[in-house]
Structure 1
Amino acid sequence: MGEFIVSARKYRPASFDTVVGQGSITSTLKNAIQRKQLAHAYLFCGPRGVGKTTCARIFAKTINCFNPTADMEPCGECESCKAFNEGRSYNIHELDAASNNSVEDIRTLTDQVRIPPQIGKYKVYIIDEVHMLSSGAFNAFLKTLEEPPAHAIFILATTEKHKILPTILSRCQIYDFNRMGVEDTVKHLTQIAQKEGITFEEEALNIIAHKADGAMRDALSIFDQVVAFCGTHLSYAKVIENLNVLDYDYYFRLTDSFLAKDHVKALVLFDEILAKGFDAQHFMIGLCIHFRDLLVCKDPQSTKLLEVGASIANRYKDQAARCSVAYLYEAMAASNKCDVGYRSSSNPRLHVELALLHLCYIGEEKKN
């Protein structure tokens, strides 16, 4: 049995065309390479797990490639590409600013910058989590960043752009990476599942994509986790069990009880949810999101904002048809009010139960 490699590493993009969800950025970088308009410093910023370091590595690999393809992808065959793939390239240096954040570390880096590359045109310095550099380190880095040798290119990556000095920002080309959309994440997970010979239900992959919250690396880590639990078939029921996610069905049944003004059923369902170990506040947040999703289903123009599988989307449309816009607005407001006041309540369970009772009788108070 071969050594297991996590999916985030096994399927890490090796060329621009395999990067997911960052089309405008990869096109811009490829055009810059083709036109030989390379800046001396780049800043890649955005949420975690969206491809900042990956794009930096591909960019570094491509600009040192001896025989890039017509569409500016690395060939993978030349000595420079082979050295990069085998982890023995001396032209690409990665520095973790979280653990190398002192003035002395930056001085060591600036000393290295002066040495020209042995093979290839450029020496590329990828500095990850650059916002972790100390103020002194930033200041020591300024001069080198403004006037580096012709062979040096800096790629800075950060999740917290607002922490970087304006004097650093003004010396860089800034690229803002997008969060991964649920649709893009599901599509990528589908391709990986097919390569691994794993069958799946679409709703199961949607749950993984939602849980990842826009980070592809997180999605792949969760995917590995649920595969270890489910085996070669990912079912919706098994995935929500493993990830401790509340089934959509509870929200649909609760909304049905609200519309029927059946407060007994609503309270029983809430008790069942608590018995399964779910947090009451997280439940209320989920309920508020459910009402929001019903609201966007009321109009065909906003239905595209619903990020769920086809079968669950149909349930949303059916239930939305039975709810008025006014009711959904009141329900969202009541759910949000409950969430805001949850922490300050001396009896959190009763606080949520009162909100559920209110949801059952929205509109009745006005009639009376």
Structure 2
Amino acid sequence: MPEGHSVHRIANQFEQSFVGHRIEASSPQGRFAAGAEQLSGATMVDSKAVGKQMFLEFDNGLFLHVHLGLYGAWDFAGQIATGASMAETRTRRMATRRAENGKDPETGKDPETGKAAETGTPAHVADDDGEHSMASIGAPRTRRVRMAEQEKQEDDLESFPPEPVGQVRVRLLSDTAVADLRGPTKCEVLDAEGVDTAISKLGPDPLVDSPKKGGDRFVAIAGKKRTPIGLLLMDQSVISGIGNIYRAEMLFRARLNPHTPGTEVPEETLRALWKDWTKLLKSGVELGQMMTMDGLSKKAYAQALKSRADRHWVYHREGLPCRVCGTNIVMEDMGGRKLYWCPVDQA
């Protein structure tokens, strides 16, 4: 299932390539014909991600709400944003949110913390498993890109728009780009009130909520629940965007036993988890990869970017020695998903 960084990157792609354009919406598969008819002919005016869910706003007061779930993916084609352009999009979005949250849009300083917001530019990375950030080639090019849990860049297009391939639930077509959605868990048209209701059910997202208010909200919710922290981090009503990989990695980075009830996790540890999620989410959006190793040499970092097996502390390392203490990493079922952790460092 795509985790939070992937959905934010998809939202950035829509902002860069579709916002401001009149959209022709259709449902080649036929299952979303009525919804597509409501949106077709309107101009897309905003694109927003909250955790694993995305909201595309149109100038007729309606929104397309999409949750990719386990099998969903967006296929983009046409003049598609790539590495450097994606970074610029994120910078603009963060500047807008700083202004909306009462920060100085020039300095980016938060009156609550007195600190400036972090910015960055993604590097061009291509790994052995096909997961990579898009090539930093500046202006959009006419090509195909699939964006889901992994991002895969295909050959340049010979003609535009390409014919729909497979079971396309909804197609969004502008004068320069097309986006095809397949296999989502949720795809629906909402009004503004419906969007507010959907977002109200979600926990804080570091790229949406202010650092202090978001952290306070997470601590207040998680600290009152006796549910194991390993389940709380996956509960989208507690904190948004964390999936199976980030859960395992964050718990190890905090040296925290996944079975510890939220009520028994010290407040400072909960705040550290929020801060770490903020750092990892921003890195994931910029790199297009879930890089959770730290303290690496320049050579080891380059290798980790190239090979997923070298990118994580514990995820998918069942039976392999812990990178810190040498104890074999264990795997168990928690919340219907595989959890990887070290029984010594996280005892």
TM-score, with normalisation over the residues of structure 1? 0.25
Structure number with the higher strand fraction is 2
Higher helix fraction (1 or 2): 1
Which has the larger Rg? 1
